[in-house]
Structure 1
């Protein structure tokens, strides 16, 4: 296997010059015949494109032989999609039809790169810029605005995605084309990704183990990095945001340039926030956080070969709140706090053959998680004031918890030549991961995790029917070291003193988990405007190290957790049914699901106390989740600038004994009134304004150790636009969330047991300058 992998990598990084094709043409308005300026012409499989000039003309070089889909999109027009064969095609004039409907983009997270309207599986896609226009403070905050997606939060700086009631290791996050691994099993561990340099997010709701393996049992968040500049173009950008509630700001600088074959981009950003203020005017102590982020990429592409090397460094310092204490607008976290360094390197290669292609992705991640806290070693007679101060300084210098997580991913996919109406992909995926402890505390032992999976999927297209299915086999091995009670943790060489961690004895572990999963979906165009989708899929999740090996106090959650090394795979089956109606001025969808999970893993209180903390034991029981989303979007003719949007989402989760699952989001309905104007007035264009009201219902269906939360309504609004400054463009936006300064507690807030409210009124201002 290793020799095969190295051989493929060697081929991938050895570009050979082949015959190339050039594709050119003109984009016009169907109704008037006038040229369309700045239309986007894009080949998603090739990741190549161009923008039409003032006369509607475009030209794209270095297109390999084969059949590829071209997408043409422009604001105010319906997206054009067509498959073209090269070298037979060299020139094509394309006419676009006016439409008030939002232009479609290609879905990257599914295997065959279809438009959403063509996809067998319904996937939500949102541009990060659109989410930021609504005043999102962090990437997690922005993603939570998508129907069916919420965020499990600890203050403002820590947020984990929740898809239809499932989160943590049941939801996979992909960035730069590789799975993100950053100790995501913990409730208090956030994404660790900045929204700067992310173009869009795609959400697969439901099991995606066929494509992504273990841990995709609840769904996938797929983050698409920003694109390179168009061929022979150079762009630069500076942006800054201010947030009134946290007195926070974030900014970034970006530069990118592309030749005919070589591309380069770089972006650096920084964000800092004070403690957030609740609706009653109190600041929540130590919810402050800082983030430094750097992203870079270099790409090469010719007619037969494409490679893209990306790097992302993210450093976060995040306070861990415990109570409402001293009121301050300082921005340096207090003890306890997290310091997290995350490095992600990915190499994405694609080789084009005559009628097929080979994708080779390799990723490496290094996650260094440290937690600092005050050290209070129990002594019979306590400590003197000076000694206490020394211990606090020690807590600041040396982390109580330090874990290094190193992950190597690989993903090989071969796109077979088309056979009639069939498109087929076969692939191999794998992961090698090591976890090493260096702090005095230990939550999980030193361990090595190895994944291997092989899969095949195919798509069959007819005039009105589309079918997609596949099968996959996975093997995961977890090998961990034994930990004796009061064993000395690994320490850095420069540490002069050794400390004892508080965890109990943990036995060595060498477990293997296997699973075979499949998926089958169908899409039927009932009429030209009405379509239906039905998807059936199985998925699995192997238990993680925390669930298998925990035996100690978890200070982030104030409980003593005990694992069980005999836990089995979680195995699920989900049925997803959706109906969608679309025309030029009206959209509506209904999406329902039912998800059954065998051997669902959860924490159960035992009633005991250890170290003054309640004891929770990991255990298993069957569970089910069901619910869905309903959406409506009206943009009436001739008022194409007017948009009325409404969405409703609901999910219920129960164990087989009838008890409700924890951390299930409350039902909610969101209504938005939005206006958009593209025609320039006094050099101001792309103008918009919106008013949004989100109503969240009471959540009374809670687990045995949860508290109920009341409903609330949050009012938001915003406006903005773009204008020209000489040869540059400036984009300005203002938004306000929780305008009425409602004092409320979200059911997915980890601060709710302490009665700590969520963020109050927040006004944000953004300025973006583009060269």
Structure 2
């Protein structure tokens, strides 16, 4: 009897222990796509070896109950994605977040991932997919696309059409010479003057798979300093299943037309794939003699092996632009808003090209090495016509030519909770500046050379601890600039010492995942930026007016920004909301505040007193019902310079607002697609007023403006699509840039109501 009692008691205790273990432990979690951060409905989740399982529901969530203590293997599978496998130890209930990788032969995304921020990174960012880009794209130059889709970007169009010809861009009120811009990691900026001219390679946006805009210092990248932010383009994904050919024809106001042909082979039996695009663009422009005539070519080809990707990417573009870079006095605008004060004989002829060879080796699913070598070139003619007297004209041509050679390499390693990347980049940038009296092209009266070398390296890592993800990133840059003057022009042999700079740019941040849909982040980053060639010269020449300053290397120092960012991100199938606040503290910001030398028309640059920018940014997207989307973005910003005293004056201005920095930006868009064959979108943009000079004189102000646009589209069939864009539907007369012209304000007038119609055929 006693033995029976003992047996019964032991059996009961064992049964109770097993029951307790099963009853207390469970696994819950969400399954998402790593590339799009979208929930995956119907993914299979299995716990081995006990073969307990579940599938994800409409919210991408799963739950497995009654799991005894022990060690298990969790497997997750979903059609079109690589299987996920993780060893886990169960002693209590767990909540997991699982990200599946798209199942391609080998992913091309790894090429740009090294200098991009993932969606959980504590970086203020907007990553635009091809679908989002195409929602506003109709063939216009790159900057005009970004203005509508991301916060805090303002773009000016010299021609007034916001389609082609020269345009300038500002991010958080900071000019594009302070914005880092890359394509597949290769810098597109002119390294010496640090700007980018999208009109040199029109229609390039059509060949892009995605673009990421990082506002503020962001993560480490290649090329010029990420001072205001960075824009990283990813070229067309060629590793696709099906071949495709597309023909796009556009026509519209101001005799604007564009023809584009694209061919994509898809992945062929020999594991190679190719893509090419050829575009031709023409426009008369809205303002008088502000037209463009351009062509652009893009090519990408690749071989996709079991462990390697070898790709070649390249583009070539050439544009003839009627020049309209001068603001027009308001008095002339009142007579005729299309007035262009530049001479109609001034037509530049500029081009830019790039060739990149890249190789990616996959050691395994978690370790990759990507290396590239590239060559870029740019150059052409830039004429300036002026009055010799009341009857005679003369013209000077300012050609320049750049050669850009570079190499870069990244190694990436992923673990369960930790990922790190290290990279190195080196380049040489060679520039020739020439001046010629037209038509005496064979005998220039001026010619100098500038050579810039850089080697940079970075290492960054992210580590997950529970619901926290920590990012650390540091970049080192060593930069030299050598300027070689034309001694014949100077009349004496005066050499300029080589300029050298070393920068250490740290970034650190943390993200907290409140739940699978909401995360909050905070970060700090510091970046230093060397002066440009024009910051030193104040002109195009090395001449007697600036040679003394050039030999005194201390007169313009590098500028620095300390960037504090924080935000909250909410993401579901029906709604996406990103809110962030920023504070950018500037040291030694470079500005044209130095001595003006009248005989050489030179305004020298100097470092100004401390300044800051602070503000909040919001972007959103809602889909309250099917086929109806409300989206947009907004910015409120204050930009203050502590003190400014004009050269040669005793007057001091304190706490002044930084020129060309509006306090408000707002974009709002509604898109409705009631039936498959038809849809429309309504877009409105508001930009607040800004000052154009450092004294905040109320007579020299860019007024606020509001403009509305309509887009109509029809899917005639699976192969044919028609789009009509009607811009500035209320014909508001508005200005996006300007400055003082003598004693009055001058502006760049933007076009009244105008339209573009686009026909797209896919085969």
TM-score tier by shorter-chain length is 0.7 to 0.9
Q: Does 1:217 pair with 2:221?
A: no
Superposition deviation, residue 311 in structure 1: 1.2
Give, in whole Å, the separation in 2 of the partners of 1:170 and 1:600.
Answer: 11
Report what 1:740 is aligned to. 730
Superposition deviation, residue 438 in structure 1: 3.4
Q: Does 1:632 pair with 2:620?
A: yes
Report what 1:22 is aligned to. none
Report what 1:570 is aligned to. 559
Superposition deviation, residue 289 in structure 1: 1.3
SS at match of 1:217: coil
SS at match of 2:685: strand
- Which of these two proteins has the greater Rg computed from alpha carbons? 2
TM-score, with length taken from structure 2? 0.74
2:100 to 69, 82, 85: 82
Q: Does 1:291 pair with 2:294?
A: yes
The 1:469–1:553 alpha-carbon spacing in structure 2 relative to 1, beyond 3 Å, is same
Give, in whole Å, the separation in 2 of the partners of 1:308 and 1:80.
Answer: 31
Contact 1:535 1:576 in 2 (8 A): yes
The 1:420–1:176 alpha-carbon spacing in structure 2 relative to 1, beyond 3 Å, is closer
Report what 1:691 is aligned to. 682
Q: Does 1:365 pair with 2:354?
A: no
Give, in whole Å, the separation in 1 of the partners of 2:233 and 2:112.
Answer: 9
Q: Does 1:429 pair with 2:425?
A: yes
Give, in whole Å, the separation in 2 of the partners of 1:732 and 1:656.
Answer: 52
Report what 2:580 is aligned to. 591
Contact 2:411 2:423 in 1 (8 A): yes
The 1:551–1:340 alpha-carbon spacing in structure 2 relative to 1, beyond 3 Å, is closer
Superposition deviation, residue 162 in structure 1: 1.7
1:150 to 149, 154, 158: 154
Report what 1:242 is aligned to. 251
Q: Structure 1, residues 69-99: CA drift from partner, whole Å, max 9, x if none?
A: xxxxxxxxxx994159999xx9xxxxxxxxx
Give, in whole Å, the separation in 1 of the partners of 2:635 and 2:431.
Answer: 38
Give, in whole Å, the separation in 1 of the partners of 2:126 and 2:445.
Answer: 39
Report what 1:272 is aligned to. 282
Report what 1:642 is aligned to. 628
Report what 1:720 is aligned to. 713
The 1:705–1:144 alpha-carbon spacing in structure 2 relative to 1, beyond 3 Å, is same
Report what 2:401 is aligned to. 404
Superposed, 1:247-326 pairs within 5 Å as 247-257=255-265, 258-260=267-269, 261-276=271-286, 284-321=287-324, 322=326
Contact 2:192 2:429 in 1 (8 A): no
Q: Structure 1, residues 296-355: CA drift from partner, whole Å, max 9, x if none?
A: 12111101110110110010111212457999999x993223211111011121011135
Larger relative contact order (CA 8 Å, sep ≥ 6)? 1
The 1:463–1:160 alpha-carbon spacing in structure 2 relative to 1, beyond 3 Å, is farther
Q: Structure 1, residues 343-402: CA drift from partner, whole Å, max 9, x if none?
A: 1011121011135221102221011132023366x5xxx69x7xx5xx76xx5xxx7111
Superposition deviation, residue 426 in structure 1: 1.4
SS at match of 1:656: strand
Q: Which segment drifts farther, 600-609 or 216-225?
A: 600-609
Give, in whole Å, the separation in 1 of the partners of 2:596 and 2:589.
Answer: 21
Superposition deviation, residue 215 in structure 1: 1.9
Give, in whole Å, the separation in 2 of the partners of 1:762 and 1:695.
Answer: 19
SS at match of 2:288: coil
Give, in whole Å, the separation in 2 of the partners of 1:561 and 1:288.
Answer: 40
SS at match of 2:731: coil
Contact 1:317 1:333 in 2 (8 A): no
Q: Structure 2: where are the runs of 5+ without partners?
A: 1-38, 44-76, 87-96, 437-443, 644-654
Q: Does 1:374 pair with 2:371?
A: no
Superposition deviation, residue 659 in structure 1: 2.8
Superposition deviation, residue 407 in structure 1: 0.7
SS at match of 2:145: helix
> How many residues align structurally?
635
Give, in whole Å, the separation in 1 of the partners of 2:345 and 2:178.
Answer: 30
Q: Structure 1, residues 611-649: CA drift from partner, whole Å, max 9, x if none?
A: 6x474544443321111312333322xx22222234321
1:513 to 489, 501, 505: 501
Give, in whole Å, the separation in 1 of the partners of 2:435 and 2:84.
Answer: 55
Give, in whole Å, the separation in 2 of the partners of 1:269 and 1:652.
Answer: 41
SS at match of 1:509: coil
The 1:341–1:598 alpha-carbon spacing in structure 2 relative to 1, beyond 3 Å, is same
Give, in whole Å, the separation in 1 of the partners of 2:728 and 2:690.
Answer: 20
Give, in whole Å, the separation in 2 of the partners of 1:58 and 1:444.
Answer: 62
Give, in whole Å, the separation in 2 of the partners of 1:463 and 1:750.
Answer: 56
Contact 1:67 1:83 in 2 (8 A): no
Give, in whole Å, the separation in 2 of the partners of 1:592 and 1:59.
Answer: 38
Give, in whole Å, the separation in 2 of the partners of 1:659 and 1:768.
Answer: 50
Report what 2:758 is aligned to. 766
1:709 to 692, 702, 709: 702
Report what 1:662 is aligned to. 659
SS at match of 1:287: coil
Contact 2:684 2:708 in 1 (8 A): yes
SS at match of 1:439: strand
1:452 to 432, 439, 455: 455
Give the aligned CA root-mean-square deviation in angstroms.
Answer: 4.0
